[in-house]
Amino acid sequence: MMASSRNGTVTPAAAGRADRVTRGRTGRWGTRLALMLAVLAGATAPAAAQPSPAPPEASPPASPSALPPLPAAPAGWTLKGVVVLSRHGMRAPTHSVHCDGAAADNCLNAVAEQPWPTLGVAAGHLTISGSERSRRLAQFYRAHYAGQGLFPAEGCPDPDRVAYVTDGVERTIVTAGAMMDGMFPGCFLHPLKVKPGLYHGPKCGYEPAAAMAASQALAGGSFAALEDGALAGAIAQLDKVLGPFRPEGCAANGASAPCSLATLPRRAETPGAIRLASPLTEQFLMQYGMGLPENEVAWGRLPGATGLPLGEAVGAVNLLHATSERLMNMPHYQAEKLGSPVAAPVLKALEQLADGRGPAFTFFSSHDTLILNAAGLLGLSWQLPGFHPYQVPPGGGIAFELWQPPTGEPMLRPVYYAQTLDQLRSDAELSDAAPPSSTLVAIESCTGGSNGFCPWSSFRAMAGRAIDPHCVGPRPPKARRAAKKGGKPEAGGTPEEDGAPTAKPD
């Protein structure tokens, strides 16, 4: 699926933003990853011209041996509330594993030598372990924010103090339910709010060709150059893992049999091997996080292909996924048109908090592509310890914390929380003493803030300017009917998440 890489100069401002976001990054990969993030941070501004991305690091992100705690809020500050924009938990591939009864360009078994595992659920559904890991993170949210005074340490909250909202996709619905169960088992809560099409507004002029051109520009002007240059090593490693494709898989990707990932056609204007590689590498992350035996994660081939231990190898090849998703979802064109209906309900919930109304904790269950759309719109940047810049791990999310100092206006602090790969794999218990991976999220256009905090008035004004009202609101009746039937978004829209196992956009 998408492409990954970068080629540009690091400005002092971008380097400063990277320094703020890469808190706690040490070890041999820390400097290079900080540099990579500095380049990327300079690309989040909502300007018409996108900077050229610099070559990505082929090396894996540092595996954190100890996760540093976040800095505490200043003494005397009170947490007014939190709005979480979260990705769903671990899921099965979003397209069919089996090629019978499905088009060849929509099945995974056509693009690998060995058959893919089904993970025991239908395509795109949350796995049992995905639900269990989401409950673990929910338990952390409960304990952590109870310590900040949002909830009672034990027992049940006032039902009006919490809200859980999701679109109509199975994996987000089940994730939100797992969050409710993990945070407040045995408690009466208001029903989960299921809103099909929640994160999709009117077409508002969105054109796939224009979106692809924006991604091409962010990729440095040529997807082919990335595949043949900076990403060639990662593609070669994944090629060893996947092996030869079936003839129908070759045909679906515009190649003649025999073919493999490394021999797919290269085109400057559209991603080929890198876009196909994106969802495949993340499936290896899901397999690892679910706790599959080592010889079943990527058919046991990743360590041999990369020369790394399995966990590091999974992280290394996910450079393709992380960068691909950023290139396809964070350019200003996509961010404004697709991120506006995602950011709008988050901003509304924060406005209610600032005015002393609404729930103290609101959880939006969403998708990685949509989080990246919203992040591009709002100029957000991050790098979680143990992950690549802008990576959106399953189950993790951005917690927009609204704090009230003793005097003056509220202050907003976005924090990214997600379990590390090893925490997912071991189903580790989480607490403030043994926290998930976390980092402060930098807000590019914030003025007057420091130490991760942004004045509420500054953030609210910036978000209000960034959100395009023409892209927010009810979709046309035809699109709403399609959503109720589980169909595709309206013409010009994008899928709820991820992509097909081919070079074709879905």
pLDDT tens-digit profile of 127-162?
A: 999 999 999 999 999 999 999 999 999 999 999 999
Residue 328 has what pLDDT? 96
User: Does the pLDDT value for residue 118 go beyond 70?
Assistant: yes
Residue 300 has what pLDDT? 98
Q: Contact, 32 vs 60, CB < 8 A?
A: no
C-alpha–C-alpha distance, residues 168 and 175, integer Å: 12
Compute CA 90 distance to the chain's CA centroid, rounded to the nearest angstrom.
12
Q: Contact, 263 vs 306, CB < 8 A?
A: no
Residue 102 has what pLDDT? 60
Mean pLDDT over 303-324 rounds to 95
**Lowest pLDDT segment from 116-125, 182-191, 480-489:** 480-489
**In this structure, what token pair is assigned to residue 203?**
């077409």
User: Does the pLDDT value for residue 337 go beyond 70?
Assistant: yes
Kindly provide the b/e burial profile for residues 422-454, where b requires at least 16 CB atoms within 10 angstroms of the residue's own CB. ebbbeeeebeeeebbbbbbbbbbbbeebeebbb
Residue 105 has what pLDDT? 66
Residue 4 has what pLDDT? 32
Residue 3 has what pLDDT? 32
Helix boundaries (H) for 368-485: 368-378, 421-426, 456-466, 477-484
On the 0-12 / 13-18 / 19+ scale of CB atoms within 10 A, 188 is: exposed
Q: Contact, 303 vs 295, CB < 8 A?
A: no
Q: Of 298, 227, 291, 212, nearest to 263 (Cα)?
A: 227
C-alpha–C-alpha distance, residues 29 and 21, integer Å: 15
Q: How confident is the model at residue 24 (pLDDT cuts 50, 70, 90)?
A: very low
Mean pLDDT over 221-245 rounds to 94
Mean pLDDT over 414-421 rounds to 98
Residue 22's CB: how many other CB atoms inside 10 A?
Answer: 27
Residue 280 has what pLDDT? 97
Residue 484 has what pLDDT? 44
Residue 16 has what pLDDT? 34
Beta strands 411-418 and 454-455, pairing class: antiparallel
Residue 100 has what pLDDT? 83
Mean pLDDT over 276-305 rounds to 97
C-alpha–C-alpha distance, residues 235 and 242, integer Å: 10
Residue 54 has what pLDDT? 37
Residue 46 has what pLDDT? 34
**In this structure, what token pair is assigned to residue 297?**
């994660």
**In this structure, what token pair is assigned to residue 205?**
């002029």
Residue 61 has what pLDDT? 67
Q: Cα separations (Å) of 295 from 97, 279, 287, 299?
A: 19, 20, 11, 6
Higher pLDDT, 9 or 304: 304
Q: Contact, 29 vs 22, CB < 8 A?
A: no
Mean pLDDT over 257-265 rounds to 96
Report the predicted TM-score, pTM, of the whole model to 2 decimal places. 0.85
Residue 323 has what pLDDT? 84
**In this structure, what token pair is assigned to residue 226?**
């990335």
Residue 474 has what pLDDT? 73
Higher pLDDT, 17 or 387: 387
Q: How confident is the model at residue 432 (pLDDT cuts 50, 70, 90)?
A: very high
Residues near 4 by beta carbon (within 8 Å), at least 6 away in sequence: 56, 226, 231, 234, 274, 319, 320, 322, 323, 324, 326, 327
Report phi then psi at 441, rounded to 5.
-100, 125
List the domains of the chain with CATH numbers: 12-60+205-329 (no CATH), 132-203+334-484 (3.40.50.1240)
Residue 448 has what pLDDT? 83
Q: Count the residues in the chain.
A: 506
Residue 353 has what pLDDT? 97
Residue 51 has what pLDDT? 35
Higher pLDDT, 382 or 48: 382
If you average pLDDT over every residue of the chain, what do you get?
Answer: 84
Q: Contact, 178 vs 134, CB < 8 A?
A: yes
C-alpha–C-alpha distance, residues 153 and 148, integer Å: 10
Mean pLDDT over 432-461 rounds to 93
Q: Of 487, 104, 108, nearest to 276 (Cα)?
A: 108
Q: Contact, 352 vs 409, CB < 8 A?
A: no
Give pLDDT tens digits for 33-81: 333 333 333 333 333 333 333 334 445 566 666 787 888 999 999 999 9
Compute CA 467 distance to the chain's CA centroid, rounded to the nearest angstrom.
20
